[in-house]
């Protein structure tokens, strides 16, 4: 089976509609579809659910909302649950901020409403707000130690304390602790978020975090290839270069 036929089959599986030629830019769309659905989906040992979670996360970072809407539908079509998909977007907030996260959630909710899925979805936090720091720290310390707290000791006392505290409470306490998504998936998606942001300085630490929670380097490499059509070569090469020491 050649890539054209593979593209057609995968496209129709994901979007549950016939793959048609674009009336205005048929050559560009043929390139895109054959590369993404006929080739990239064949690289590495990622499930279709993982691939669509990665794609939706990257599109949320990029704020390419029309494409995000299509891939939210595709993710649901291949078995990603609404709760899992919502977690992927919630997980973006500490890295891209709330305004862009709200834009992505707005698209997500629109798709759910079109599919007659009741909103709001079930809460996924099962502890009191006063426990955020302790719950977050338990996860953070195991994966990343005290690196951030030590790094910003040069700041005046208030700021030296608040940045690490916000990181522990918001990123780890508010997000990592939530149900509906396992920590391996969270770390993988965060790695892709950082790749999309071209945040090379943080990629090595989160690649190491991925390995600690059970994601192999091969999984990370496959995730980067999955990101390639959406981010382009410079961003992906930067990510590979940022983590090459782990392979060595």
What CATH number should be reported for the domain holding residue 223? 1.20.1290.10
Q: How confident is the model at residue 3 (pLDDT cuts 50, 70, 90)?
A: very high
Instruction: Answer yes or no: is pLDDT of 149 > 90.
Output: no
Q: What was the pLDDT predicted at 21?
A: 86
Mean pLDDT value across residues 201-212? 95
How far is CA 90 from each of CA 10, 133, 180, 194, 233, rounded to the nearest angstrom? 28, 18, 12, 15, 27
Same domain? 50 vs 66: yes
Domain count, the chain: 3
Instruction: Answer yes or no: is pLDDT of 203 > 90.
Output: yes
Q: What was the pLDDT predicted at 81?
A: 98
Question: What is the average pLDDT score of the chain?
Answer: 96
Instruction: Answer yes or no: is pLDDT of 20 > 90.
Output: no
Same domain? 197 vs 116: yes
Weakest-pLDDT range from 25-29, 63-67, 156-160, 240-244: 156-160
Query: pTM higher than 0.85 for the full model?
Result: yes
Same domain? 29 vs 131: no
Question: Higher-confidence residue: 1 or 216?
Answer: 216
Question: Higher-confidence residue: 151 or 180?
Answer: 180
Mean pLDDT value across residues 8-34? 95
Tell me which of 10, 25, 42 is where a domain ends: 42
Same domain? 244 vs 211: yes
Same domain? 89 vs 193: yes
Same domain? 72 vs 104: yes
Same domain? 105 vs 4: no
Same domain? 188 vs 246: yes
The proportion of the chain whose per-residue pLDDT surpasses 90, expressed as a percent, equals 92
Instruction: Answer yes or no: is pLDDT of 152 > 90.
Output: no
Same domain? 2 vs 62: no
Same domain? 185 vs 81: yes
Q: What was the pLDDT predicted at 132?
A: 97
Q: Classify residue 79 as exposed, middle or buried by CB count within 10 Å of its CB (0-12, 13-18, 19+).
A: exposed
Same domain? 110 vs 188: yes
Q: What was the pLDDT predicted at 146?
A: 83
Mean pLDDT value across residues 190-215? 96
Q: Do 71 and 52 meet the contact criterion of CB atoms below 8 Å apart?
A: yes
Same domain? 60 vs 162: no
**b/e map 232-246, b = 16+ CB within 10 Å:** eeebbeebeebbeee
Domain residues for 9?
Answer: 1-42
Mean pLDDT value across residues 75-98? 98
């Amino acid at each position: 089976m050649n890539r054209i036929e593979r593209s057609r089959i995968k496209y129709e599986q994901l979007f549950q509609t016939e793959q048609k030629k674009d009336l205005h830019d048929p050559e560009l769309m043929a390139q895109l579809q054959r590369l993404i659905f006929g080739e990239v989906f064949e690289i590495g040992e990622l499930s279709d659910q993982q691939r669509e979670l990665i794609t939706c996360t990257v599109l949320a970072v990029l704020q390419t909302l029309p494409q995000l809407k299509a891939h939210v539908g595709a993710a649901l079509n291949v078995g990603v649950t609404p709760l899992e998909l919502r977690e992927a977007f919630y997980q973006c907030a500490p890295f891209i901020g709330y305004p862009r996260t709200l834009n992505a959630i707005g698209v997500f909710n629109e798709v759910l409403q079109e599919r007659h899925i009741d909103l709001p979805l079930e809460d996924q936090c099962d502890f009191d707000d006063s426990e955020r720091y302790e719950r977050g720290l338990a996860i953070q310390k195991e994966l990343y130690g005290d690196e951030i707290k030590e790094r910003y000791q040069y700041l005046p006392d208030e700021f030296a304390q608040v940045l690490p505290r916000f990181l522990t409470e918001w990123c780890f306490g508010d997000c990592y602790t939530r149900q509906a998504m396992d920590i391996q998936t969270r770390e993988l998606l965060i790695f892709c978020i950082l790749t999309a942001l071209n945040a090379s300085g943080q990629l090595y630490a989160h690649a190491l975090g991925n390995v600690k929670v059970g994601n192999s380097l091969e999984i990370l490499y496959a995730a980067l290839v999955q990101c390639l059509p959406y981010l382009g070569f410079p961003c992906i090469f930067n990510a590979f270069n940022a983590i090459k020491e782990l392979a060595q």
